[in-house]
Amino acid sequence: MRLSRTLMTANKLNKYSISGLPLASPTQLLTHKLTPDPRTPSVAAFRDEVLTTSPSLQRRARLLAADAHFSYVTPLAVPFPYDIEPPTDAPPDSPSYIEKWLAAREPRIAQAPASPNASLCKYTREVRDDAVAAELIGLAETALRDCVPHLDVGDAFALLGAPALAVGGDEESTESTQAAVAARTDLIDVLSGRAVLMSDSFAPWAVRYSGHQFGTWAGQLGDGRATSILVTPHPASPDLTYELQLKGAGRTPFSRSADGLAVLRSSVREYLCSEAMYALGIPTTRALALVSLPGVPVLRETVESACVLTRIAPSFLRIGSFEALSPPQNTFLFGGGQQAAHWDALRALGVWVAGSVLRLPETVADEDAETSAVDDKAKESHPAPWGKALVLEVARRNARMVAGWQAYGFMHGVINTDNVSLLGLTIDYGPYAFMDVFDPFHVCNHTDEEGRYAYRSQPTNILFAIRALHSALAPLIGAELTLGHAVPAGWADTASKEELATWRTRGMNELKDELEGVTQGETAAAYAELMRKRLALRRAEMTDEGALVRPLLDLMAVHKLDFHGTFRVLSAFRPGMLPAGDARESRADSAAEELDALLARLLAQAPGAVDRPQATEDLRGWLNVYARRIERETDEWAPNEAAEAMDIQRTRAARAANPRFVLRQWVLQEVIAAVEKDVVRGRRVLAKVLHMSCNPFEPWGGEDDDEAQLDVEEREERRFCGLGDSGMLGFQCSCSS
C-alpha cells in the first residue's frame, strides 16, 4: 500500500517519456568536465564523423590516451564477432566495407523531438538487425519511484502483468491508449540500445578505469559492456542527478576480447539483487529495467540469449578510475596494457569527484570558483586541499557498505579495485550470494580458487582497495601538504622524479595510519550497530561483540544453522521464556512450551543432521546471556509499561530488521528458469520475486498462519522463503555473465 501511495504522488509530477526526460546541466555532466578520448574529441565530431566514417573506433579494443577519462560510444547489442560478409568487388585488404556495415547500424537518423522543449533528440539506425525482438521483462517500481519518478513508462506494467508465483492461465488483456503504447515503445527502444539520445552537446559514453583483479595489477579495464546513456536531475532535488547506464549493450574500446554483451541469467541476478540490497539498507546501485534480446545469441559455457540491464546511480566511478591515471610503480602487468601516469588528468578527476560526486566541504563543484582557503592569506587565490579528505570519505563510505554486507551475509564474489565504487555503493553484481548455512569461510565464486574473496575476508579486501586509492593519490596529497592548498593545473609539469617521489612518500606517510584506523573503526562501528539492530537492542555495550554476536555466529557455524532463518526465529524470543537465575522449576508451563517451540524452530534451521542435545544446550546458554542483555535496557523500550509492551515492541523491531524473504541461489535459479522457459509467465514470477525482495521483512507466505489456511499463492510464497533443495545450499556461481 505504501508503494502505491508513493506512485500516486509521483503521478502528480510532470511526466516525460524517456526521450523527453530533462538533461542535467553542463556543470553536472562528467563529459563536460573531464577529458574525452582524442579519437572522439567532441560530440559533434563523434556524431557527424566517427559514426559516419569510422564507427569501428568504438568497437576496437585499444588503449586510450593517457589523459583521457572517457570515450563517446553508442550501444550496439548484436552478436560478436560481427558477421560481416565482404563484398565480392572489395579489395581484400580494404576495411571500408566493415566501416560501411557498422555505419548502417549506428544511430544517425534523427527523429522528431518528444516535445518542443526536449533537451535531447532520439536517433535510430538505418539497419536494425535487432528489431525483431526486444522484450521488456522487468521494470522496478522502487527504482522508478526513488530515482526517476518523472519518467512516463506508459502501459509497461500492464504489459508485464500482475506479479505472481503461482501463475495460472493468461491474464485478461486491457486496452491501452496510443500515448501509453508510445511511451512504453520509446522506453524499450532506448533501454534496449536500439535508439540513442543525443544533442549538439551530449552523447553516450564509456569510462576508462584500471584496477587490481584478484590482487594482481591488470592495467586498463574500463566499461567493456556498459554505456552511460543519460543523466537527469531528480525533480524534487535538482542538485541530485541520476546516471542511466546500459549493461550488456555491446562492445566499447574497453571490451578487450569480450563481446560486450550480458546474458539473461546474469542480468536477472543483478536486477533483483540491486533492489534487494536497497531494501536491506545496504548502499547499492539501483536497477530500473530488463530488456531481453532473445534473437541475439551469446556464447558462454553454452549459447545463451542476450539481455540489457538498465542500472542507475549518481555516479558509476570506481577506485580504478584513479588507478588508471596514477598506476602502481614497478608492478608486473597482467592484462592488455597501461598508460603512463598523467598528473593533470588525476587532478581533474579528483576535482570532479570531490566537488560533484562526493560533495566534500573542502571543495566546490565548480573548480574555477576557488573560494575555499586554508588560511586568511591564501583565501582569495587558493582552494583548500581535498586529496586527503577524498580518500577518507571514500574509506568511510565503503566501510559502512561492507559492514552491511557482513551483517546481512552478502558475499560479492569479485571485490577487485575496479569493482569498488567511490560512492561506497555495491556495484557490479556477478557471482554474488547471500549466506545460507553460516560459514565464515564460504566462497561464493567458484573461480576464486584461493578463497581471496571469502565472506570473512571482505572487509580486508575493501581495505586493500582503499589502500590502492590512497597510493594513486599519494603524490597529489603530498604536493598539497607541501603547498598548503589544493594543487593547481599543471601542478606536476615541471616536477622531477625526485620531487614526485618525495611527494608520494609524504602523502603515504601522512595518511596511512589514520586511513587504516578510519576504515577499520568505521566498519566495526557500523557492523556493531547493524547487529544490535538485528538483535533488537537499542543501547550499545562494549561487550556485545564478544559476549553476544560472536558466540551466536560461532554457534551457527558449529551446528550448521541457517544464517537468516536463525535471526528471524530469534525475533520471537522473550526474556520471560527464560527465568532469571536458576529458578527454572518455577517457570510457567506456557513459557516452557514457548521456549521449547522456539528451540525446535531454531534447530529446524539446520538443513542437515544436528547433534540435538548439544545444540539445545548451546542455544539455551546463549539465550540466557541474551535475556540478561535485553533486561539491562528495559528503560529504552517501555519504562512505564508492562513487560509485555516491551516484548511487543522488540518483536516488531526485530522483524523489521531480519528478512523473512532472502534472495537465495535456488530462488534466483528458479526465476531464471521460469523466464527462459516462458517469458510471458516468467516475467510475472520475476515481478513477484522483485516485490518480495523489495519488502523482505513482510510475513510472506502467512508466516504465522497454519499451512491449511493458505491459498495457492501464499503456499508458493512460503516455499520461496524456505531453504530450498539441499543441493543448492552454498551454491557457487561463475564469473561468466
Residue 673 CB-half CA count within 13 A: 7
678 in active site = no
CA distance 241 to 231: 6
Using DSSP's 3-state secondary structure scheme, residue 449 falls into coil
Kindly give, in sequence order, each residue whose CB lies less than 8 Å from that of residue 554, ignoring residues fewer than 6 positions away: none
Sequence-distant (6+) residues with CB within 8 A of 622 are 551, 552, 555
Q: Is 225 left (phi over 0), alpha (psi -120 to 50) or beta?
A: alpha
C-alpha 689, offset from chain centre: 18
The secondary element (H helix, E strand) that includes residue 387 is helix 387-407
Identify the three-state secondary structure at position 139: strand
Q: Which of 155, 418, 448, 647 is catalytic?
A: 418
Torsion of CA 108, 112, 115, 118, to 10 degrees: 20
Which residues have a Cβ under 8 Å from the Cβ of 319 and sit 6 or more positions away? 211, 394, 417, 418, 420, 421, 422, 465, 466, 468, 469, 472
The Cβ of residue 658 has, within 10 Å, a number of other Cβ atoms equal to 23
Q: What are the C-alpha distances in Å from 462 to residues 285, 350, 717?
A: 17, 20, 35
Whether omega before 81 lies within 30 degrees of 0, making that bond cis, reads yes
Question: Whole-angstrom Cα distance, residue 574 to residue 631?
Answer: 10
**H or E stretch covering 131:** none
Q: Are 315 and 285 in contact (CB under 8 A)?
A: no
Residue whose C-alpha cell is 525482495: 693
State the amino acid at position 372 in one-letter form: S
Grid-cell match 522496478, residue found: 140
Strand partners, 308: 291
Polymer length of the chain: 737
Cα separation, 555 vs 6, in Å, equals 42
3-state secondary structure of 654: helix
Cell output for 134? 526486444
CA 182 to each of CA 154, 414, 573: distance values in angstroms, whole numbers, following the listed order: 7, 40, 54
594-597 long-range contacts, CB within 8 A, separation 24+: 595/623
319 close to 342: Cβ distance less than 8 angstroms: no
Cα separation, 125 vs 376, in Å, equals 58
**Gap between the Cα atoms of 210 and 324, Å rounded:** 5
The residues annotated as belonging to the active site are 418
